Chain A
Amino acid sequence: MVTMTDMGQPGRYPLDEYVTSIESGLTPQPESERSGVLSNERAAELGERLRQLHSARQLAESESRDYPVS
């Protein structure tokens, strides 16, 4: 029978003995095979497309500032 005194003793009941892992179901990719990482070209394209979108939104926020509605 476990008593409160037993429970307070470090290492006496290691949790590892009581658990079963729930795995992600995925396998780590080796560093040499990293797929799904953007190439330099695609990273540059992404940066440029986002820059254009952000610029357009900033402009809209600025131009809409005084647009009245009622």
Chain B
Amino acid sequence: MNLQDWSYDHPADAVDLARPGALNSLLDRYGGSRPEVLTNVLAHAYASGAQSAVLEYRYIDPDYRNEHSQFYSTTFRRYPSVAHRLHFFAEQMPPSLTSRDEPTRFNNVGYLGYTVLRPLPGAPVGRTMLAPQIGTQPHVTCLARDQVNLLGEPLGVMGTPFVSQDAQMSVCAHATLWMIAYYHHLAFGGPRLLPGDITAAVPDDIGRGLPSMGLTLYQISVAASRLGYPALVYGLDPPPPGESPFRLACRYLNSGIPVIVGGAEHVFVLVGYERLNPGQPDERIRFIRHDDEVGIYIGVDNYLLDAYAPWEYLVIPLPQKVYMSGEDAEVIGELYLRQALDDNAAKVGTDLRDRLDRKPRELSFRSTVVLSNDFKTGLEARQVPATLAAVYRRMQMSRWIWVVEVVDRELRRLNQPCVLAEAIIDATDQLRDKHVLSWRIPALVGQWNPDNDTLSHRTLDPMPPLPSVSRANG
């Protein structure tokens, strides 16, 4: 990477990716001494059908500019303070792109996303936002929309943010925290945190903070809390009673909350999962991860045989107002739903109650934490009958709620609406005085009013299974 040639006298270049050798030319210019991650990113763009690209020069990337001011401006070796940004498109660029007489337009050229190229030979891949490939997209649950402006034209992309570590200012732990913070910023309106904010949040009582040789999980956990995302830590050897790595991770992935995995003294981020061979004896979960040392949307077909096996810990940074863990919510929701079915057996019948205990298991519990406003506004899209939607939309709820659903496994396997009942739990609730805000079983919906400890209910007409609130597909 020749940093003397980092400045250009024109704002951008269009790249024809369909021409043989285009990929190599990008790698030659930007790959530096560690081209592996860039190779992965370019391969992903190609596999997503990228036909063209635009290289934007003199791009002032807030993250790289922050790294530059905090670290790269302090070294003897000089680094430019601006980055380049590479945008990918699914179609060829229109001839008007190079017209001197018309503003540039990118209509109907299929924006696929971007990667920021840092002038760092050892770590060129900066902030990256690329859409998953079409086959993977339904299984990536942690998707957020990012918007950019290229030559005056606003462009949007749905993806999961990625950045590679530079092994100086950020190691895998910092990169992972950055990905999660930028994701929460885009998805849930969290603060826009820069690399320097993350470095500053790490407790510096163990080892040197800058340059960093690595962190401990304790430092990650504390940094996450200081950044506004208090983290839950789960050990996987063994997992908590009644739990498995799948159940623990999928609860949060269902909710669109990324999960950090620690294994082989490395951390990476799970951003989705796919159920392979559902309903078959060899059913298993294929996780999808961002690995700052390898690349984006990487499938993990069998976590037991993974390069980072054994996975030892899960660390899950949560929005500030999610006090309650997923497994706590699921136990509470399960027992309240069982109680409601017992109490109302005369009114609603015993079929669902009996099916809950049937072997082999026909039904399972699925828990998802969602913003209550999103839950309410999504009722119509989920085809929830008007009488139930009316009750839910008028119900006063905490900002975040856990929704614990009773799911018909066979219907889920067939990708059909599969929710037979649900409980709604205040994500800030008091664990020593456990309640559900609401429960819905066939033909009945009930509500608990926390202000005066009263219960109310309404009978419902029979309704078919409903679609899940989970972001997971199947």
Residue among B216, B235, B241, B343 with the highest chain A CB neighbour number at 10 A: B235
Distance between A64 CB and nearest chain B CB, rounded to angstroms = 4
Query: Within A52-70, which residues are at the interface with B (CB < 8 Å)?
Result: 52-54, 56-57, 59-61, 63-70
Task: Report B218-252 CB contacts with A as 1/0, cut-off 8 Å.
Answer: 10110000000000111100011111000000000
Whether B328 pairs with A68 at a CB distance below 8 angstroms is no
How many B residues, CB 8 Å from partner?
A: 60
Task: Report B166-187 CB contacts with A as 1/0, cut-off 8 Å.
Answer: 0100011100000000000000
Distance between B457 CB and nearest chain A CB, rounded to angstroms = 6
Whether A57 pairs with B232 at a CB distance below 8 angstroms is yes
Query: Is A10 positioned at the interface, with any CB of B under 8 Å from its CB?
Result: no
* A19 and B27 alpha carbons, distance in the complex (Å): 68
Whether B455 pairs with A69 at a CB distance below 8 angstroms is no
Q: Which of A42, A50, A56, A70 contacts B172 (CB 8 A)?
A: A70
Distance between B443 CB and nearest chain A CB, rounded to angstroms = 13
* A57 and B391 alpha carbons, distance in the complex (Å): 36
Query: Is B280 positioned at the interface, with any CB of A under 8 Å from its CB?
Result: no
**Known interface pairs A36-B448, A42-B335, A69-B262; A28-B455 also in contact (CB < 8 Å):** yes
Whether A36 pairs with B343 at a CB distance below 8 angstroms is yes
* A24 and B340 alpha carbons, distance in the complex (Å): 20
Whether B241 pairs with A35 at a CB distance below 8 angstroms is no
* A39 and B340 alpha carbons, distance in the complex (Å): 10
Chain A residues with Cβ below 8 Å from B213 are: 70
How many A residues, CB 8 Å from partner?
A: 35
Closest to B337 in A: A36
Chain A residues with Cβ below 8 Å from B216 are: 65-69
Chain B residues with Cβ below 8 Å from A63 are: 235
Distance between A21 CB and nearest chain B CB, rounded to angstroms = 11
* A56 and B436 alpha carbons, distance in the complex (Å): 24
* A55 and B232 alpha carbons, distance in the complex (Å): 13
Closest to A35 in B: B343
Known interface pairs A36-B448, A69-B173; 14 further A-B residue pairs with C-beta atoms within 8 A, sorted by A's residue number: A22-B394, A25-B391, A25-B394, A26-B446, A35-B339, A36-B343, A39-B339, A46-B331, A46-B335, A60-B233, A60-B235, A60-B313, A64-B315, A69-B216
User: Which B residues fall within an 8 A CB radius of A?
Assistant: 167, 171-173, 212-218, 220-221, 232-235, 239-243, 262, 265-267, 312-313, 315, 325, 327-328, 331-332, 335-336, 338-340, 342-344, 387, 390-391, 394-395, 431, 434, 436, 439, 445-448, 454-458
